[in-house]
Every structure is written in C-alpha cells, then in structure tokens.
Amino acid sequence: MPERDAIVVGAGIAGLMAALKLAPLRVTVLCKTRLGKGAATDWAQGGIAAAIGRDDSPGLHALDTRNAGAGINESSMVDILTRDAPARIDELLALGAAFDRDPSGELALGREAAHQRRRIVKAGGDATGHEILKTLIEAVQAHPSIEIVENAIADDAILEGDRVRGIYARSHADGARLELRARAVVLATGGIGRLYRYTTNPVQATGDGIAIAARAGALLADMEFVQFHPTALAIGRDPMPLVTEAVRGEGAILVNDLGERFMLGLHPDAELAPRDVVARAIFEQLQRGRTVGLDARAAIGDAFPRAFPTVFGFCESAGIDPRTRTIPVAPAAHYHMGGIAVDEWGRTSLAGLWACGEVSATGVHGANRLASNSLLEALVYGSRVADDVRNATAPPDRIATAPYRAPAGANGGEAQAIADLRNVMYANVGLVRDERGLLEALARIDALEIAFADTGGELRNLLVVARLIAEAALARRESRGSHYRRDYPDADDAFAKRSFTRLRSVA
C-alpha cells in the first residue's frame, strides 16, 4: 500500500472526526471491525455537553468540569473544550445530525450529574452516540480521499529512529500482515473497559492504542483514573447495558431492596452527585448484600418508552418494565481518564504520532470525568488533531527500520487468562483499592506475562494496560476522584497533580 498523508487507527467519533477534517488529504482509517460496529460511540446514550442555553456559558461549563475533576484538571485544556463545544455542535448540525428539539424548535437540553445547567444535547432520547456515528460515517464515506480498511487490527507502531512512520497491522479474517506508512499516525482506539469483569464498553475496548504507544516509548498520563458508571443494567449480560445518567437527571432515585434512598445522606446532590460518589455508594450497598434499583416510576413513569427508548428496550428484553418496577443496577467500568499524554493539539511525546478521544490523556477530565464531556472531547480534540496534522511539516528522509517481529497468534488458554485478569482487576484495581489488593493484582499480572510471553491478540495489550493502571494506582497514596484507596481515604495535597508514566515505571 502506498504511503498516505495520515493513518487514523480507530473509527469511533474521534477517529472519524479527525479523518473528516483531514480530507482532502489522503487518509486511511483502520477499523477493528466493520465500519459502524464495535465503537463505544455507538453505545453512548447520554449526549454531548455544550453551553448553548441562554442561562449558560463556557465559563460555567468549565467550572463544572473542574469541580468534577477533583482539582487536577489541565486548566487550559478545559477552556479549549468548553469554548469550542458550541461550534462542534453546529458542525454536526450542518452535517445533518438529528438532535432532539423542544416544541419551539430549539435544541432540547437535558441535565446530568454535577452540571449546574441543562446543557446536554441528545438525539433519539438516549441514542446520541448512534446518531453522531451515523452522521460521521455518511460524511466520511462521501470523501474519495478517505480509505476505510475494515477488520484490521493494529499491532505496533513503525518506528524509524525516534519517529513514528506508520502502523503494523493484520487482517482479522486471515491474519495477513499489513504495513501501513504515513507521515502522520493518529491513534483513536477508544478505551480499556474490557479489562474489567463488569463494563459497559464493547468487547473491542482492549486498550490497543495505549499499549501500542507504550511499547513505542510514549509518555502516558493519569493511568490510575478509571471511571465506573453507577448505573449499568444488572441482568447478567457482558458487556452490561448502560442506564444513562439522564434518567437520574429527570428525577429517578436510587433505592436498595429495603426501600431506603441511601444517597440522601451521602451527598447534597444525592443521585446527581459526581459519578465516583454514586458508584461507590452503590458498590458498598452490594458489598453489604443489598441489591440496588433505580426507581423512575414517579419521575418518568409512562413517558419512559418515549423518553428513553434504548434503555426501555434493554429493560423490556430482560422482562423489566421501568414504568411499574425498579431497574436493577450495579457499577461497571465505563471510561478511562488516563491514556497517552498529549498537548492541546493532540501531539504525543513521539514525533509523527497524535492521539485523540478516550485513548488520549488531555488532562481535561482531571481525576473524574464530568458526564457527557466524553463525546465532546472526542469532537473537539479530534478536530484539533486534524488541524495540527494538516499543518505539520513532512517527515525526514526514511532511515533503516529494524526488522519487525510480529506477535504470535492467540494461545489456547488466552480466553481463560483474560477472564482471570478481568476478575482480578475489578476486585483489586476497581472502585475501592488498597496496597494489598494492588500488589496481589500486580503479582497475577506478572504470572500471566510470563505464561503468555509470546502471545498476540487482545491479551497482549490488556496485560500492558493492566500493569500501567495498577502501578499508577499503587503510587498514588491518596483518594481523589475516581481513584479511591481505603488505606488512604483522604485527598493529600502532595498528590494534587497529574501523574505521568512510561511502560514499567511510574513518575
């Protein structure tokens, strides 16, 4: 395949926005599955936060974002995010995105936890991600300069000296090797949810981009901060269907099986407290042997099928009618604030490599992401990456590339190893952590790395990311945002800063 201007690894909202903004440059988008399948964007229910209401402003949006981030947000990145948000909404509207409207024809704005204002732009009630993904796919497919390579799995970066010059990949269908070269590589591979036993993420969320960048020597940041969504639908499915936070935004309450509304005494905002507070509260109820339900009967009632059709469909498939009974919920790994460290243009520490979306660590979320800022971050920084790549100088003349040793195929015991890893990560590196549990997790990771030293497939990447998260969690001897240590339950000013790491060492 001839050298392209850019290779975008990942075909969710961040990757497609970057590719669209790069056109008419010659762009190849590497998609792990068929286009439109396997992206977390497609599952995103809540919406996009943007200060477009008459009583709102980017400054208020920024304040809410910083408050949720527990004091370690990258302030300049927050300002960019909230300032650029309205323009990104306008762009999606221009592309034909069908966002929900109120009776007057204005965009219907919802409210979610820790937002002072109604600023959540939605589509189809709770199908926002699906609508955005559909809109971007149609726009990308209309550009002849954008090539989509489907069912291809990225393995490693092509390094020439200290510069990234492409991606080694393989066909999912027949294992054929691909060597894709370009003057710019953009990683937009999404999150790490598959690392945890309970997750709302698709099975493809295996931390591929972080692992690729880490093996290449890139700087990573904030790896310890993993957000657990409080209300995943607890009906025994893997992944767990999400019950969007907007349901609580419309007044639904949390009760245990004794009928107790337990959030009232824990936080002034009760069910609309920051996600880490609500998730840990539910987790503690479950640890005590209680079950937890989301009660929308009084607040939403008969309007539920119309207001939240996706959630209603999930409930209905499990024999649950949220109009007449509570919805069983439990916390599940949902979003990773950490990832590849980037600057305000999505540049990584490696020349020729950019990152955007959940795989990146802009610092905008701090220790805990504000609801509905994830799709927004992908749009804002996907767009900025494209602007920077477009203006980047051409790479130097090619130099010799070291022979590439491709990872072996998956071993026979890989499925069980992944199951073991997911269990230990949820138990020991999940919502509540301590030194003993983290060391136990690292010992198990050590053993799996030895047993599967030559493996390929998703286990290879999951082990890299698991180690990085556990090591960073062990090093942060405090509790902050989504990172909670029962042996260090208070925040410590000495740790009121972001963390940075490279593979095998945490700084």
Please answer whether residues 390 and 25 qualify as being in contact, where contact means their C-beta atoms are separated by less than 8 angstroms.
yes
Alpha-carbon distances, residue 242 vs 5, 43, 228, 332 (angstroms):
38, 8, 11, 9
Instruction: Give the 3-state secondary structure of residue 131.
Output: helix
Instruction: Give the 3-state secondary structure of residue 220.
Output: strand
- For 376-403, give the DSSP string: HHHHHHHHHHHHHHHHPPPPPPP---PP
Output DSSP code: residue 126. Answer: T
d(CA 490, CA 103): 47
Instruction: Give the 3-state secondary structure of residue 87.
Output: helix
**How many angstroms from the chain centroid is the CA of residue 15?**
13
Torsion of CA 112, 114, 119, 123, to 10 degrees: -30
Tell me the residue type at 45: Q
What is the torsional sign of CA 285, 287, 288, 293?
positive
Q: Could you give the strand order of the β-sheet that contains 109-110, starting from the edge strand earlier in sequence?
A: 48-49, 120-121, 109-110
405 among known catalytic residues: no
d(CA 484, CA 180): 41
d(CA 77, CA 505): 26
The pair of three-digit structure tokens given for residue 72, joined into one six-digit string: 């370690």
The pair of three-digit structure tokens given for residue 89, joined into one six-digit string: 């909404």
**How many angstroms from the chain centroid is the CA of residue 157?**
21
Question: Which residues neighbour 265 within 8 Å (Cβ) at sequence distance 6 or greater?
Answer: none
d(CA 226, CA 416): 23
* H or E segment to which residue 7 belongs: strand 4-9
d(CA 291, CA 282): 9
Tell me the residue type at 343: D
Where do the DSSP E strands lie in 62-151?
109-110, 120-121, 146-149
d(CA 99, CA 452): 47
Backbone angles phi, psi at 339, to 5 degrees: 150, -150
Q: For residue 16, how many C-alpha atoms fall within 13 Å in the half-sphere facing its CB?
A: 25
* H or E segment to which residue 67 belongs: helix 58-68
293 bridge partner residues: 255, 328
Which is the catalytic residue, given 275, 347, 422, 498? 275
Alpha helices in 127-245 (DSSP H): 128-141, 208-216
- Active centre residues (catalytic): 275
